[in-house]
């Protein structure tokens, strides 16, 4: 399974940065996102920063990855990892809401 992980940039040089996240450090190519400031969150995949993330997106992505790890380890309480989604109705994004017929 190929999954991007949130990493926070902790040092940088033109075109590359050292990212830290989920218990590891990795040198990341910044070609897809451009040079970013130290402290920026990015989605890292195969040694490259593929997208800049907000702190909220990084936290939500880490929560989803924590839930995946918990389920794979046999913990069935996935709701504990998605408190923001429990007890609310799913909503379509605006671009998928058609005009009323």
Residue 70 sits in a domain whose CATH number is 2.30.30.140
Q: Is residue 91 part of a domain?
A: no
Domain residues for 25? Answer: 5-81
pTM score of the predicted model: 0.77
> For residue 58, what are the contacts with CB-CB under 8 A and spacing of at least 6?
6, 8, 21, 41
* pLDDT value at residue 100: 64
Q: Is residue 66 part of a domain?
A: yes
Residue 101 belongs to some domain of the structure: no
**Residue 87 is assigned to a structural domain of this protein:** no
Residue 53 lies in a domain: yes
Query: For the segment 7-65, what is each residue's pLDDT rounded down to a tens digit?
Result: 999 999 999 999 999 999 999 999 999 999 999 999 999 999 999 999 999 998 998 89
Residue 63 backbone phi and psi in degrees, to 5: -65, -40
The total of structural domains in the chain comes to 1
pLDDT of residue 89: 85
Residue 31's nearest CA partner among 14, 43, 12, 7 is 14
What is residue 96's predicted lDDT score, i.e. its pLDDT? 86
CB neighbours of 31 closer than 8 A, spacing ≥ 6?
A: 15, 48
């Amino acid at each position: 399974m190929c999954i991007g992980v949130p990493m926070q940039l902790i040092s940088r040089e033109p075109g590359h940065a050292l990212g830290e996240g989920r218990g590891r450090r990795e040198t990341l190519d910044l070609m897809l996102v451009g040079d970013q400031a130290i402290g920026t969150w990015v989605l890292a995949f195969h040694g490259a920063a593929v997208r800049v993330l907000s702190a909220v997106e990084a936290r939500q992505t880490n929560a989803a990855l924590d839930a995946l790890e918990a389920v794979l380890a046999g913990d069935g309480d996935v709701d504990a990892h998605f408190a923001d989604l429990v007890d609310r109705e799913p909503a379509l994004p605006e671009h998928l809401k058609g005009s009323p017929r």
